[in-house]
Structure 1
């Protein structure tokens, strides 16, 4: 009867349901709650990171296009650390310096790059590193989105088993007998969806954003190579 009192009124007190649930159901509900909190922390952090990276990237690209001294820009790289383009520029600039050789002919001519292919490979490696950094923790979102419904389903099945056990123990199928187990089952189902749906939506959204960033990195690599070829070949 005390448990039935929890169901009276206009809604269910989730915390009270957790407190009065069995050990297995309580563990399931706590796991799903932890999944939900974790996914929202990642979602908020990733959204803030991508938003700030976009602004910093726009600023860095503007400075890159205006500067005529890459060494000076390299010294200012710390101002734009949130931009993935800085990783490409730093790697490309180092490789260009390594590949430069004195130009044949009269002194005073500009040096030439020995191998543009090496610069291109360096930029490709840097792009992979930057994309990997931006994809951090998205695997956790994918895992939560995939696993949460099954954890909730397990809680649902366990709650139904508990309800049937209550019927067998009490010898009747009254609402007071089956309500605790059914309530746990339905709450587990709901929490499984609450954890999975935002994680799945956020994962798909961030994957779309990463495709945009991959395009940005590829475009900057081509721009860097074009400037290098004009200046050093």
Structure 2
């Protein structure tokens, strides 16, 4: 009886997170490690996107102040050079580059002016799409983790419970001290799956919403800039 009590105490002491991990078999350990790594990578993506979006929002405000200050757009383009630092500046530079290439060669034909206006709009849309594609990189990992992590954790749980029942059958001992460690490590796999999935889902929805708002801001700027260039074409 005393030996059994010592063994039971040892088992209770092993119900820590590290103890549950060390007691698990290779399949459940693989699930746990995978969920921890997925959670770390998700948080890295989350911090990167949040910080980057805040920085881009501040840079967009700074650019819009310069753009609407009433100064020359040609001077603004010359100051920015060919290396824009944010998507809004990239849209502006792409449009101005096309404007400079073609505006001086226009004659009096209205068709040529309409064609230039269409090319400028197309260039801005292509640049906008490319910039947004860059911003959305790795966002799909958050969506994948949010949708699959609970099921992967559940797989680890089912596998762990199967092992527990197998151990019960082999030892023919149904006491709580025998069952508890196996059930605990199995449930720990599901807990890790939820730890990875819940922040990933919340962050994905929030970041996607912020990216949609930022894309809308770029689209509005592109439309306003296209209208400005169109008026200048009519005045030529």
2:25 pairs with 22, 25, 28, which one?
A: 22
* Structure with greater helix share of residues: 2
Asked whether 1:85 is paired with 2:88, we answer: yes
TM-score, with normalisation over the residues of structure 1?
Answer: 0.88
Task: Check conservation: 1:141, 1:203, Cα contact below 8 A.
Answer: yes
Distance 2:30 2:38 in 1: 12
Deviates more, 1:112-121 or 1:150-159: 112-121
Distance 2:70 2:115 in 1: 23
Deviates more, 1:38-47 or 1:223-232: 223-232
Distance 2:142 2:214 in 1: 19
TM-score, with normalisation over the residues of structure 2?
Answer: 0.87
2:163 aligned residue: 162
Which runs of 5 or more structure 2 residues have no equivalent in the other structure? 1-6
Asked whether 1:6 is paired with 2:14, we answer: yes
State the shift of 1:83 in Å.
2.6
State the shift of 1:72 in Å.
2.9
Task: Check conservation: 1:155, 1:188, Cα contact below 8 A.
Answer: yes
Q: How many residues were matched structurally?
A: 222
Task: Check conservation: 1:21, 1:184, Cα contact below 8 A.
Answer: yes
Distance 1:210 1:80 in 2: 22
Task: Give a deviation string over 1:167-224, Cα, whole Å, max 9, x none.
Answer: 0110121112212220111111111111000000000001111110121111111111
State the shift of 1:229 in Å.
1.7
Task: Check conservation: 2:24, 2:160, Cα contact below 8 A.
Answer: no
1:229 aligned residue: 230
State the shift of 1:78 in Å.
6.9
Q: Which has the higher contact order (CA 8 A, sep 6+)?
A: 2
Q: Quote the RMSD (CA, aligned, Å).
A: 2.1
Asked whether 1:49 is paired with 2:52, we answer: yes
User: Residues 32 and 104 from structure 1, CA distance in 2 versus in 1: closer, same or farther, beyond 3 angstroms?
Assistant: closer
Deviates more, 1:195-204 or 1:181-190: 181-190
Which runs of 5 or more structure 1 residues have no equivalent in the other structure? 8-12, 106-111
